Structure 1
Amino acid sequence: MCCACSWLFRMMSAVAGDGFCLVKRRRGRGRSRRGEPPCAPLPPAPALTAAHFPDQPLDQLTALRRIRAAKEDLLESDYYKHFFNTLKESLSVIDKREVVEIISLGLGHIGDCTISRYQLALTLCLRDNFRVDCHVHDPIFYTDECHILETLDFKLIKENEEGKRTLRNDGITIVYLPHCPKQLTNNFLWNNWTTNLKNCVLIGNSFLRLIESQPHDNLNISAPYILNIQPYTEEFSLVNSFKFNDVFNDTSIHVFPARTLGLITDNFWHRDDSEPDYSNNVEFISSNIISRLRSRNS
C-alpha cells in the first residue's frame, strides 16, 4: 500500500474520539528515484457512507489503460526477468508442484496510485503465466476499482478476512502481500499454522529484515508467527532494480520446504485458539476498524 495508507490515517482522524491513535510517518518517503511522486495527490477525505468504505469515482477506461501499460512496462524490465527466475528457483525448492491459485491482498488504490498499479501489474503477470484464478482483496478498494478488477477477471474476496485465508491442499498457492503490514502476514500464518505451509510461496516484505530491524519483544506481540517460522523459512531476496524504487523495495520470496518443516516437533504447531489481537494499531485495517468507521456515519 502507498498513498492509501495516508488517506486511511486521515479518515481515522475523524474518529479519533473513538480511541484511534494516529501514527505519523517521516517526510520524504514515497517518491520515485526520478523525483516524481509515484502516487496521485491525495484527494480530500470523502464523507463516509453506511454502505461501504469511503468511495471515490474513477475514470475506469483510463485506469484500465494505465494498468495494461504498466503490465507491458514491467514485462520488458530487467526486474521482472530477475523476479521470475528467482520465483522458478523458489518453486524448485518445494518440488516444482503445480501452482493452483494466487492470492493477492493489500494492493491499495490501483486506480490512482502508481505503486499499486505496478504491484497489480505483477499480479497480472503471475496470473497470466500460471493460468490460475487469482483472488484479491483490500478493504480500501473503491467501488470502481472493484469493477476494474472484475473486468480484468480477478476473483474478488468480498469480506475482509484480515489475511486469514486457508491454503489449499492440492498444490501450490502463491500469496502476494505487497508492502502489507506484518500483522496481515502474521494472521495468514496463524490461520495456516501447520505443515501445510509447504504448499505456499509467500511474496512480501522480507522476514529476515523485519526480524533484524525490530526488537524481538515487540515482534512477540505484533508478529509472533513470523518470528517463529523464520528459522524454517527459505528466503530469496530480490534485487530492487525497477525504475521506481518504491514499488518492489524490501520484497522477498519465502517458501517453507517440507524437508525443513518435517524436522519440527508437533509442539511447535500448537497455536492459541483465540485470533491475534492488534488493538489500537492503525497499521492494520481490521474488520472492527471498518465497522467503527461505518457506524460513525450511520
Structure 2
Amino acid sequence: MAAAVALEPWQTAAPRKRRSAARRPKQREATPRDPETDPETDSTTVLRRIEEAQRDLLVSDFWSSALETINRCLGKHGEQLPTLERALPEALGNLHLDASPEPAVACDSVPGETPASGSCLWKCVCYGLGNFATCVIARNQLAFLLLLMEKCQIPRSRCCLYDPVFSQLEIAVLNALGMAVLGENEEGKRSVGGEPTLFYMLHCGTALYNNLLWSNWSADALSRMVIIGNSFRGLEERLLTRILQKNYPYVAKISKGLEELELPEMPQYLDVFNDTSVHWFPAQKLEGLPRDTWEFQEEPDYQDCEDLEIIRNEAKTLEPQP
C-alpha cells in the first residue's frame, strides 16, 4: 500500500498545485502523464501501479508523519462524538507508527471486505481525485486514501468517489477495489446524514468546499465532518476578503468555527499533498458563533463568479428557474 513513483525534481520556490479537471476544466490535457502509460493500459496494470504506490507510501517518512497529524485531529474530533462513534480515533490511537510497515493489501482482494470486529461506523467521500490511471499525482492520492481507510478501519464499501473526468477504465478499477462511484455530479452538495464522515478533497475548487459546507450548514452536521483538502487558511490568504465573502460565503463564515492541522511538506510528495490540511469543526466553537451565522442558508449559484474552478452539473444548470 505505498507509492514508488519518481516525481520530477522540484524546480520552483512556490508550491505548484495540481490543477485537475475538478478544479480547472480547461486544463484537462495538461494533467501530468505517467511515462509508462500507453493506450493499451488495462485494469490489471492500473491496479498493480496503485499497489506499488501504496508500498512506497508505507515506507516513506511522509506516510508516518501525515498519519500522526491525522491521528491528532481525529483524536480531538472523536471526543465530541458519542461513545459508539469513537471507534475511528480509538483505532488510530492504537497504531504503532514506528513499527515495521504492514504488507500492502492485494489489489485483487475481495471487494467490500468485511471489516474487523469493532470497526468504525464512519463513511468516506472523495471528490476531485482526477485521472489516476494516467496521472502519477492522482494515483498517489488514491494510494494514500486506501491506506488511510485501512488504518481507520473504514470498509471500502463505505467510500464513494466522484470526478467528472473518470474514464470507464478508472470506474472499473474503483469498483474492483470495492469502492462506489457516484452516478451524478453532486457539485459537492452532500449531507453527512447524521453519520461521521471523512471528506477527501485534495486540490479541489473553492466552490466545492463552499457547496459541501452549505449542504451541512448546522452545528450538528459540521461537527460530524472531517475534511482533508485545501488549507482553509490558505484560501483566506489567497482570496480578497470581499471575493471570499461574496462568492464563497460559507467558507468565509466558518473560519472561526474550525481547527486545522497542515500535513507535512516533504520533497517526495510535495506536488501530491501541497497546501493540504486536515480540518474539523469543534462543537464548542460552532455553538459559539453568532446566531445569524446559521440564519443565512441560501444555496450557492455562482452566477457572477469568475474563474469558477469546478465542473457544474449541466443537467441542473440548464433547468429553468422558477
Answer yes or no: same fold by TM over 0.5. Answer: yes
Which residue number in structure 1 is paired with residue 73 of structure 2? 90
Distance 1:11 1:124 in 2: 24
CA drift at 1:280: 5.8
CA drift at 1:3: 6.5
Which residue number in structure 2 is paired with residue 173 of structure 1? 197
CA drift at 1:221: 2.8
Identity %: 33
CA drift at 1:135: 1.0
1:274 aligns with 2:299: yes
> Which residue identity lines up with residue 60 of structure 1 in the other structure?
S
Which residue number in structure 2 is paired with residue 101 of structure 1? 123
Say if 1:106 and 1:137, in contact at 8 Å, map to a contact too. Answer: yes
Q: 2:33 aligns with which of 30, 39, 44?
A: 39
Unmatched segments (≥5 aa) in structure 1: 13-24, 31-37, 44-55, 293-298
For 1:76-87, what aligned pairs fall within 5 Å after superposition?
76-87=59-70
Which residue number in structure 1 is paired with residue 215 of structure 2? 191
The 1:234/1:7 distance shift into structure 2, 3 A limit, reads closer
Distance 2:252 2:181 in 1: 30
TM-score, normalising length from structure 2? 0.72
Matched position secondary structure for 1:163? coil
Distance 2:28 2:273 in 1: 26
Count of aligned pairs between the two proteins: 255
For 1:232-271, what aligned pairs fall within 5 Å after superposition?
232-271=257-296
CA-to-partner distance for each residue in 1:241-276, whole Å, 9 max, x for gaps? Answer: 151321000000011001111212332112343333
CA drift at 1:4: 4.4
Distance 1:4 1:98 in 2: 33
1:119 aligns with 2:113: no
Which residue number in structure 1 is paired with residue 26 of structure 2? 9
Which residue number in structure 2 is paired with residue 142 of structure 1? 167
Say if 1:94 and 1:258, in contact at 8 Å, map to a contact too. Answer: no
The 1:274/1:244 distance shift into structure 2, 3 A limit, reads closer
Distance 1:120 1:65 in 2: 13
Distance 2:257 2:57 in 1: 32
1:160 aligns with 2:143: no
Which residue number in structure 2 is paired with residue 16 of structure 1? none
> Which residue identity lines up with residue 148 of structure 1 in the other structure?
V
TM-score, normalising length from structure 1? 0.78
Say if 2:189 and 2:211, in contact at 8 Å, map to a contact too. Answer: yes
Say if 1:179 and 1:205, in contact at 8 Å, map to a contact too. Answer: yes
CA drift at 1:93: 1.8
Q: 1:283 aligns with which of 285, 298, 309?
A: 309
Unmatched segments (≥5 aa) in structure 2: 1-16, 80-85, 89-121
